[in-house]
Structure 1
Amino acid sequence: MIKTTVYLPEELELRLDAESSATGVSKAELIRRGIAMLLENSARPKQSHQLPVFNSGRALTAEAMDDMLYEHIKERAARR
């Protein structure tokens, strides 16, 4: 986790203290939950940029990809 500092108005701090005491949940956890709720309910899109789409023209199974990777590693090792 990354530490950050948040300045709260006194009334909000008192309410946060009371909620923490009443629920047994730390103030930090209550703040994290509040931020998560705010972001989940935001009208903004959750992903600001669409990921690029790449079509190789053929689909490979996991086994086929493993085989290709194994062959590549084997070829590189042979060159050493």
Structure 2
Amino acid sequence: MVKTTVYLPEALEARLDAESSATGISRAELIRRGVAMLLEQAERPKHSAPLPVFDSGRPLTPEAMDEAVYTHIKERAARR
């Protein structure tokens, strides 16, 4: 096993001590069980699939794309 230091709020430590006394299970074992339970129930992020690639039918150069974006921004600003 590997030793780890964990800082607990006083109220949580008091509850841990009470549970340890009531069950006869060491504080360390209760902490191990709690961590194991948390990790078993944790939802792991799904691997994100790559975005689909499609052809819009009208390829734009970077300059043309910039111009289209700027035009759209100007049009929206004019409507306000």
TM-score range for the pair, normalised by the shorter chain length: 0.5 to 0.7
Give the letter aligned to residue 40 of structure 2.
E
Determine if the alignment matches structure 1 residue 43 to structure 2 residue 43.
Answer: yes
After TM superposition, where is structure 1 displaced by more than 3 Å over at least 4 residues in a row? none
Larger Rg: 2
The match for 2:17 is: 17
CA RMSD of the aligned region, Å? 1.4
Per the normalisation by structure 2, the TM-score is 0.55
CA deviation string 1:34-64 (max 9, x = no partner):
000000000016xx8xxxxxxxxxxxxxxxx
Aligned length: 46
Specify the alignment match of 1:30 in structure 2: 30
Structure 2 residue runs of 5 or longer lacking an equivalent are 48-80
Q: CA deviation at 1:8?
A: 0.1
Letter in 1 for 2:39: L
Any stretches of 5+ residues in structure 1 without a counterpart? 49-80
Quote how far apart the aligned CAs of 1:14 are: 0.1
Q: What displacement does 1:26 show? A: 0.1
> How much identity, in percent, do the aligned residues show?
78
